[in-house]
Amino acid sequence: MKVLVVGGGGREHAIAWKLAQSPMLSRLYIAPGNGGTGKVGENVNISAEDIEGLLNFARKEKIDLTVVGPEAPLVKGIVDAFTREGLKIIGPDREAAQLEGSKSFTKKIMQENNIPTAEYAEFEDYEEAVKYVKSRGAPIVVKADGLAAGKGVTVAMSVDEALEALKKVMVDKIFGEAGKKVVIEEYLEGEEASYIVLTDGKYILPLASSQDHKRAFDGDRGPNTGGMGAYSPAPVVTPEVERDIMEKIVIPIIKAMEKRGTPFRGVLYGGLMITEEGPKVLEFNVRFGDPEAQPILLRMKGDLLDAFVKLSEGELEKASISWDEDAAVGVVMASQGYPGKYEKGKVIHGLEEVEKMENVVVFHAGTRYENGRYLTNGGRVLCVTAKDRDIPSAIKRAYEAVEKIHWEGAFFRRDIGKKALKHLGLD
C-alpha cells in the first residue's frame, strides 16, 4: 500500500515510524515531514494545510490511504475533500472535527448528553466576560473558542491573570479569529490524563492511557505549551477509572455525534481531569496527542496500518492491537524561548550516540536535515522516548538519552513522569 501521512511534527514522525513497520506498506510519504521523518519515508514539500496540493499529490501518486496528524487540516475539511474524490483517509470530516475546532460546540453537546465536564459560560463581548470573571473569582479557566495550537487555554490562579488572558484573546487577538468567542470554565481539582481511542463511528478501540505535561517548566509552572513530555500507561487511570471513561464519556460522545447526523470516525482524544467525583472532560481533540502519541506508539504491538485500513472500511472490530507491558516516557527538548519567540538553525549534537541505545527512539518535531546535519527548525524540537520495564526505569533511560543530546539554547523539563511515582508509592 502507498500511504501519505499529513503533518510535520513529533506525532507525525511517531505515526510514520509505526506505519513503516507494517508488511502491508510499499511506499510511505510524509507531507511536509521533518528532518527525522526522511529516515522512515519520503518527505513531500506540501504544507499540512494545503488541501488542494495534498489532494493533487494523492491522486497523482495513487495513494491508497492518507493519515492526518494535526487538527488544522481536519477542521478545514481535508477529509470531506478526499472523500469526495473517493480517496481513503483517516480522520473526522469537517462537521465532526468541530469537537476540537469549537469549544463552545463541544460544551453544548456534553451538556445535552450529561457527559461530565466543568461548568462554563461563553462570551463574544469582552466587557461581559470581564464582569463574569470578576463575579466568579479565581482560580478559573479561560479558553479561546477556536484552534490555538494547544496554547489557547489559561488556567488562571488569580483574577488579574484571568483578565490578562481575556485581554490577550479578545482585545489583542493573539489567536486571531479563534479568540472571537471565549469559553470560561470552573477550575477542576484533580490529576490530568489523556485517553485516546480509534473509532469507525460504531466500534471503539481504546489505546493505552497516557499523561501529558502542558506547562513549560518543572512543577507545572510557566506558560502552557503544546506539551513538554508524556508517559504511558498513566497509573491514575485505574481499571475502575477506565470503565467510567468509556461508559460515561467516550461511548456517549460517539453516540451523540451519530445521533446528530455527524458521526465521528478517526482518532478521538479525551483530555480528562480525574477528580474525586470521577473523570471529567477538559477538552476533546480529534487526532493523536502530541507528545502522547510517541510513548503510546512505542508501546503498541500489532499493525497500525492494518487497524487504520479496517477503520476506513468500517470493520475496526477486526483489528488486533495489544500493548507492551513495559512503560514508555517521552521527554520534549525545546528551543530557548518556546512557547514564545525562539531562534532556528542551531546544530543538534549527540543523535548518533543515542541511536545506539536500546529501546530509545528520538522522534523529531522541529528539525530539518541539511548538509549532513540536523538543525533546529521549531519550538518543540525532539521528543526523546524510551521504553523500560516500569515507569521509574523508563524515566531513567529517557533522561540518560536526553543528556547526550545538546544544541545552543536547548531546554527540557526534568520531572516528566514524576506524577506517576506517587501512585506507585515511589515519590
Beta strands 153-156 and 140-144, pairing class: antiparallel
Max CA-CA distance within the chain? 60
pLDDT value, residue 178: 81
pLDDT value, residue 150: 66
pLDDT value, residue 177: 82
Sign of the four-CA dihedral 167, 169, 174, 176: negative
| Nearest-angstrom CA–CA distance, 386 and 4 | 26
Q: For the chain, what is the mean pLDDT?
A: 95
- Domains of the chain (ranges; CATH) run 2-93 (3.40.50.20), 125-180 (3.30.1490.20), 191-323 (3.30.470.20), 327-423 (3.90.600.10)
106-165 pLDDT per residue, tens: 999 999 999 999 999 999 989 999 999 999 999 999 998 888 776 788 888 999 999 999
228-256 pLDDT per residue, tens: 999 999 999 999 999 999 999 999 999 99
395-415 pLDDT per residue, tens: 999 999 999 999 999 999 999
| Cβ atoms of residues 383 and 293 within 8 Å | no
Beta-carbon count within 10 A of 60 CB: 8
- Mean pLDDT computed over 76-88: 97
168-225 pLDDT per residue, tens: 888 889 888 888 889 999 999 999 999 999 999 999 999 999 999 999 999 999 988 8
Residue 38 per-residue DSSP state: G
